Chain A
């Protein structure tokens, strides 16, 4: 069965259902959302088909600017933390025996599939005053009295890193497990200690993968909606929180749609940037 171009009309058959589904239930909703972002909001929460740029105009407010800035900063911080922990961890995992790898992969997949709600609940419990980490420390005599560690920026950041870490590891896994093991062995025979070999051979050889992972985790973190709400104060709320707030509670769909479109553009721009940067490096 050679790979060949479709010959007859019937050959396109298999494509009909998936293409149809994707167009109707993804492309069209997406397009609808873009259209709604230009609509005019009415009193009482309805909106009328129109073409106004009011919604996008609200981007220019200081408030929006602050939220946007914070969202980007938070996502970047989480991405950096996850990659900094994830790269050495995934590397060590890829060197481990098959059994160890499988065990860890099952653990990581299980945590990855855990709902953002549950992770939020788990961390708010862990950081609470009555049932958390500080209670444990008090019990061990390391602390005088229990303290609530949430809501706070640290809480949001930690929980988001927790959520994104399994994702980071699974994104890095294919590249690291396919890395030629003789590269580090060669480095060791040439006199580099194992740690030195990691930083001078593994990390540079996987430059592009690491950059791509940073971008992917950044986008992943950008989408975090519940954790900033559950573990942070209003000043810690991100763009995603704002979008849902506007859509559901403020009944301002057009504005929410506009922000969503903006979020997409930012994500796409980043992906494009990473792609471009990767191309530049290869050409050099």
Chain B
């Protein structure tokens, strides 16, 4: 059984790793050609991300978009999740559905909808439209993590605080907020990383005025290959691994993803 399990994990692991290994190999290729195994060794393509004007501004655009839209998504999700937990209001669940919809539907739909909206309203192409678009698209992530977080709060804690004299405001500040904070952080982190990598919504809303890194890579794929594409991929993968690794290190990752309190 253990042998079978080991083999299965190895096979899946290999499947997941193979394309990334090749990309990593390509990213350190000396010349500007697509070759594997790599001929010559050079880390210059990693430097390109920061040295080259175009790539650098794309990186900056991506990071800014991710940071702001994730924050906005959190801002939308928090009061909603709080309201649904605090109040009995079945009709309000429609908003939860609306919160989950953009992400579970095919992204093309949301992208197209937003495109028509911005085009019709006349704001098409302005950078801030991308922030709102991404925020709505990714609101599901903090919403789901926060719902999970709120449902994990033992109500008797809140009741105990009330018996000791805390009013609603104080309870939120001293009991609920600290308990919900890890879920806020993880929701933000998920939205951040996904926004960083998101292509189609960004493309459809501001693709012609502003280049995020995924957009730039796609354009590079069409118009001219450069190993910087590979180094960006590895770079983004590293960022994601770092962020999720940090969450795992400081938080309870299995619990955040749906496990009950760990007892292994």
> Footprint of B on A, CB under 8 Å?
1, 3-6, 11, 14-15, 17-19, 21-23, 25-30, 32-33, 36, 85, 88-89, 92, 97-98, 101-102, 105-111, 113-126, 128, 130-133, 135-136, 139, 162, 165-166, 170, 173-175, 177-178, 194-195, 216, 219-220, 222-223, 225-226, 230, 240, 243-244, 247-248, 253, 256-257, 260, 263-264, 267
What are the 9 tightest A-B residue pairs by CB atom distance, in nearest-first order? A174-B258, A223-B106, A29-B117, A115-B197, A131-B36, A14-B79, A122-B19, A18-B80, A29-B113
A-B contact count, CB below 8 Å?
269
Q: List 6 A-B contacts (CB under 8 A).
A: A18-B99, A19-B80, A88-B8, A113-B194, A131-B25, A260-B112
Given the complex, which residues of B lie within 8 Å of A3, measured CB to CB? 85-88
Given the complex, which residues of B lie within 8 Å of A110, measured CB to CB? 237, 240-241, 244
Q: Cβ of A19 and Cβ of B95 under 8 Å apart?
A: yes
Q: Cβ of B101 and Cβ of A26 under 8 Å apart?
A: yes
Nearest A residue (CB) for B232: A118
Residue B60 at the A interface, CB < 8 A?
Answer: no
Given the complex, which residues of B lie within 8 Å of A162, measured CB to CB? 15-16, 19
Residue B164 at the A interface, CB < 8 A?
Answer: no
> Footprint of A on B, CB under 8 Å?
1, 4-5, 8-9, 12, 15-16, 18-20, 22-23, 25-26, 33-37, 75-77, 79-80, 82-83, 85-89, 92, 95, 98-99, 101-102, 104-117, 119-120, 132-133, 135-136, 139, 155, 158-159, 162, 168, 171, 190, 193-194, 196-200, 204, 214, 217-218, 221, 229-230, 232-233, 236-237, 240-241, 244-245, 248, 253-254, 257-260, 262, 264
Out of B76, B107, B113, B229, name the residue touching A121 (CB < 8 Å). Answer: B229
B4 to chain A, nearest CB (A): 8
State A240–B230 Cα separation when bound (angstroms).
Answer: 26
State A136–B38 Cα separation when bound (angstroms).
Answer: 11
Out of A5, A107, A122, A173, name the residue touching B89 (CB < 8 Å). Answer: A5
A94 to chain B, nearest CB (A): 8
Chain A binding site: helix, strand, loop or mixed by DSSP? Answer: helix
Given the complex, which residues of A lie within 8 Å of B197, measured CB to CB? 113-115, 118
Q: A4-B87, A32-B113, A122-B22 are in contact. Are A109 and B37 (CB under 8 A)?
A: no
Q: Cβ of B36 and Cβ of A174 under 8 Å apart?
A: no
Q: Cβ of B77 and Cβ of A18 under 8 Å apart?
A: yes
A47 to chain B, nearest CB (A): 10
Q: Cβ of B248 and Cβ of A106 under 8 Å apart?
A: yes
Q: Cβ of A113 and Cβ of B104 under 8 Å apart?
A: no
Q: A5-B87, A121-B23, A267-B106 are in contact. Are A115 and B244 (CB under 8 A)?
A: no
A79 to chain B, nearest CB (A): 13
Q: A216-B104, A225-B200 are in contact. Are A106 and B37 (CB under 8 A)?
A: no
Out of B12, B98, B119, B230, name the residue touching A26 (CB < 8 Å). Answer: B98
Q: Cβ of B162 and Cβ of A102 under 8 Å apart?
A: no
State A261–B112 Cα separation when bound (angstroms).
Answer: 10
Q: Cβ of B240 and Cβ of A263 under 8 Å apart?
A: no
Q: Cβ of B257 and Cβ of A15 under 8 Å apart?
A: no
Which of B9, B82, B139, B218 is the most central at the interface, judged by chain A CB atoms within 10 Å of its CB? B218
Q: Cβ of B89 and Cβ of A177 under 8 Å apart?
A: no
B173 to chain A, nearest CB (A): 13
Nearest A residue (CB) for B143: A18
B82 to chain A, nearest CB (A): 6
State A177–B256 Cα separation when bound (angstroms).
Answer: 12
State A110–B37 Cα separation when bound (angstroms).
Answer: 24
